[in-house]
Structure 1
């Protein structure tokens, strides 16, 4: 039996997982994975190409029909064992996530827990895959709406929560009778590759889940454009999602996209300032601000603006930046040098456009920060909606703040965006909350609480933040096509 990994020049080298075997890339080349805390190389993985993508898709296609023919409850039982295997390996998986991505160990442990739940929730819902029986306009006739799997699906995960996002796709796809080829991000692929080992241990049949690594322009493009692929589900940037959408068009492949966000954080004059400060501190700085639902622009009512700013600045100043493996660390490094440079550029441009730095705005000082990809939590005031920092996704620990005078102004500013993923609203006025339900142009809205969706909910974006959505019964339904039968029994 092939080995998942081996030692090469002092580094762990992982192989890809195709049809239950651990294989090298056809090209023989590799991708290096570094530790963002100190820039040291950690792992290598295969740099797969079009040929490897085709092998994985063909493997999946060869077993899809027997997998779909298995009773759903049996598929659910296998996936429940898969979730158990993830939980059993919780600490080891979390350590890999922290090493390759830079998130705090406590958050990595939470990611593994969520990933197991992403598998277990649809597994437990296997008996609740429902169709419809409708009355016909014709006598002695029924109309049946039967739901069937798409077949071969492709899951493409983002680098910020690679393990959980992969499982978010695997769980509902496999439960509903599809098979899946997963492509983890090249910058954080290793924890996802470990899923192959756990799938094997859980008894998932060979070929039902394949995991391949490689570049988007080679491996990724083949996965999206190959005629065997009937559905692509991707979490990542809006630009990448748009590219996938275009490339999937030739085959009319179904596409589900969860893309970038620019979440507004609205605090009205009657809102609980302390609760808002607590929610903003946690939500903006979780995972070093690298979360698509993070609050990215703050609209604070003028009557509570000074109080919020004072308390928020004090809370942010207490956050601990440092080694993500250490207990008590709040903020680890950014994932790589490019992301850090982009963050610095957008802050510098905001300052040039008139924003004022209240705290942060630079790389932290000290010996432990000489290497790695670090940036201090930053608060900017005197911002306005014309600034790029208020319009483009920042994806880092930067809080641009603008003073507002009314709910109507906040609503107009919040909706003045190409994105529509998440939003935050702090008020006790139920009339305004009801208006927000109708008028805020976002798919996920947190009222008087920090971010954090739940498995039974529905996570989806509007506008350039995506199409499709995930989680809950609506998310599972995205992995099923409908067949309509007109059954005449006269």
Structure 2
């Protein structure tokens, strides 16, 4: 049982949270939220309008000055209480993530654990809002540089990690003294709404955290373009990021954009092959390959290419696919359109010369007759210009290419518009130092699989985004500097 808000015919009905009040659907249009594992409708949400977005922003703008005036440690305590509430509701929240997103239950439990960690780390930063006092060139004068919140933050989150992404942005924004308006993707809005319900229980004041629902081109555009919005933080596709960049240009909006990736996975001849195979499988197949840091293309030194490929295909064949509540290795894809996008990219790659080594593809029969399923697919590619090596796949598809040297691997890895994450497996410490200087990616995993940590800095280069999340640098992104010249002459 999900224990969702009651509704008609077993379908739960959700409302938006604006200024502490839940605005229900009433007579307005609604959006159905679908379970991607069986295509059942699990909930309905209001199809928000520009007016809804504007009212939420007005509430946030009104609530921001007293929220900023509150001692930072008090803001941190409230965010910590929200983390406590997330922890107390972990199982229920995880099952909601499973129902709306389709990932296996154990992975959803990990996501809720990450959401709690993001909030706790943010709360710890309450005593770390630091400034500077500098000597002046003038007598009896000092220069004070302090950090202040931007004001109203609009957060737009993707569907692949709906709970964790919301918490990742909300926690530091609130502790820094900003107020927040959240728009989760219409595929997965329930986690954000449940987080808002818990925020109310934790005592976060009305208007400080608001949640609107609806579609990005309507509600999201209003949040980005409104003069009331001071900062926009968004996780999503590079295409959506470009649109937000353009929409925010008129008012020179401050943007934090975490966008797509095309992570290379380099394995050299001296690597621990078994460890590399295990890491590559995890980095590709977790959440059905729907992670921006997923391994998107593998480069193998020719001396170990056969061994790695054979072992990787064996691991890929053994992965279980099915009911997310049964904790399979791979759950459902988010939607039918996403299945078709992945299939179309594989077909395009084959036409350009790729050869299929393990043919998975869409599953549509028997236990898979309902829902959206895609089995692991492994291909060999000879040209780095192949669409499989250049376009983000975002699914359980693995293109493999051989290289003759470390230098060639680096060159081909950098041959991309993206710059989020990269992986390297080698025991050569000299190569580690070269990787840190030559690979043009904001995040590098050396001899390990993916999974960033909260005290690090998750940032993309190139077409993978602007700004970043996590750690002291991510927290600092929710603060701006103010300089005051203080004279007592």
Normalization by structure 2: what TM-score? 0.98
**What is the CA deviation profile of residues 132-153 of structure 1, one whole-angstrom value per residue up to 9, with x for unaligned ones?**
1122233332211110000011
In structure 2, do the counterparts of structure 1 residues 421 and 26 end up closer, same or farther at CA, with 3 Å as the change threshold?
farther
Match of 1:156 in 2: 156
The structure-2 alpha-carbon separation of the partners of 1:184 and 1:459, relative to structure 1 and needing over 3 Å to count, comes to same
* Equivalent residue number for residue 358 of structure 1: 357
Question: Where in structure 2 are the equivalents of 1:267-282 lying within 5 Å?
Answer: 267-282=267-282
User: Counterparts of 2:189 and 2:162 in 1: how far apart (Å)?
Assistant: 7
Residue 366 of structure 1, CA deviation: 4.6
> For 1:284-363, what aligned pairs fall within 5 Å after superposition?
284-327=284-327, 329-363=328-362
CA 1:27–1:482: 2 relative to 1, 3 Å = farther
- Aligned length in residues: 486
2 CA distance for matches of 1:5 and 1:231?
Answer: 32
- Counterpart of 2:45 in structure 1 is 45
The residue number in structure 2 matching 1:101 is: 101
* Per-residue deviation, 1:406: 0.8
Question: Conserved in 2, the CA contact under 8 Å of 1:383 and 1:400?
Answer: no
Look up the SS of the partner of 1:9 in the other structure.
Answer: helix
Secondary structure of the corresponding residue to residue 181 of structure 1:
strand
Aligned to 1:417: 416
Q: Report the RMSD for the aligned CA atoms in angstroms.
A: 1.2
CA contact 1:54–1:223 (8 Å) conserved in 2: yes
Structure 1 residue aligned with 2:478: 479
Q: Does 1:237 align with 2:218?
A: no
- Distance in 2, matches of 1:476 and 1:451, equals 22
Tell me if structure 2 keeps the 8 A contact 1:25–1:52. Answer: no
Distance 1:300 1:347 in 2: 20
Range moving further from structure 2, 214-223 or 259-268: 214-223
Q: CA deviation at 1:8?
A: 2.0
Alpha-carbon separation, structure 1, partners of 2:321 and 2:382: 25
Q: Does 1:76 align with 2:76?
A: yes
CA–CA distance in structure 2, aligned partners of residues 435 and 161 of structure 1: 33
Contact 2:339–2:362 (Cα < 8 Å) also in 1: no
Per the alignment, residue 398 of structure 2 pairs with: 399
C-alpha contact 2:296 2:398 (8 A) present in aligned 1: yes
Please give the secondary structure, in 1, of the residue aligned with 2:298: strand
2:159 matches 1:194: no
- Aligned pairs (5 A) from 1:8-47: 8-24=8-24, 28-47=28-47
Aligned partner of residue 375 in structure 2, secondary structure = coil
In structure 1, what is the Cα distance between the partners aligned to 2:25 and 2:415?
Answer: 45
The residue correspondences of 1:191-270 to structure 2 (distance < 5 A) are: 191-270=191-270
Matches of 2:376 and 2:139, distance apart in 1: 68
Partner of 2:433: 434
Which 10-residue stretch deviates more, 81-90 or 190-199? Answer: 190-199
Match of 1:133 in 2: 133
Is the CA contact 1:26–1:52 (under 8 Å) kept in the aligned structure 2?
no
Secondary structure of residue in 2 paired with 1:400: strand
Q: Comparing 378-387 with 76-85, which one deviates more in the overlay?
A: 378-387
Deviations 1:324-350 (A, max 9, x none): 1103x0001100000000111111111
**Conserved in 2, the CA contact under 8 Å of 1:26 and 1:49?**
no
C-alpha offsets along residues 162-221 of structure 1, whole Å, 9 cap, x if unaligned? 110010000000000000000000001112111121001000001000011011121111
Equivalent residue for 2:367? 368
Q: Which whole-Å deviations, capped at 9, do the CAs of 1:326-384 have from their partners, x for residues lacking one?
A: 03x00011000000001111111111222111113322365111111111101101342
Paired with 2:48 and 2:307, the residues of 1 have a C-alpha distance of 53
Q: Give the Cα separation in 2 of the matches to 1:364 and 1:53.
A: 39
For 1:362 and 1:377, the matched residues in 2 are separated by 7
1:98-153, CA deviations, whole angstroms, 9 ceiling, x for partnerless residues?
01110000000000000011111010110111111122233332211110000011
**Residue 7 of structure 1: how far off its partner (Å):** 0.8
Q: Do the aligned partners of 1:460 and 1:467 also contact (CA within 8 Å) in 2?
A: yes
**Matches of 2:139 and 2:357 in 1, distance apart?**
74
1:289 Cα shift?
A: 0.2
Shift of 1:404: 0.3
Q: For structure 1, which segment, 47-56 or 21-30, has the greater mean C-alpha deviation from structure 2 after superposition?
A: 21-30
Q: Report the Cα distance in structure 2 between the residues aligned to 1:270 and 1:412, rounded to whole angstroms.
A: 19
Whether the 8 Å CA contact 2:364–2:373 is kept in 1: the answer is no
Cα distance in 2 between the residues matched to 1:183 and 1:162: 10
Which string of whole-angstrom CA distances, capped at 9 and with x for unpartnered residues, describes residues 257-278 of structure 1?
Answer: 0000000000111111111001
User: SS of the residue aligned with 2:409?
Assistant: helix
| Contact kept in structure 2, 1:267 and 1:301, CA below 8 Å | yes
SS at match of 1:375: strand
By how many angstroms is 1:24 displaced? 2.8
Report deviation, 1:385.
1.0
Structure 2 stretches of 5 or more lacking a match?
Answer: none
Deviation at 1:254, TM superposition (A): 0.6
Q: Write the deviation string for residues 69-122 of structure 1: whole angstroms up to 9, x where unpaired.
A: 000000000110000000100011110110111000000000000001111101
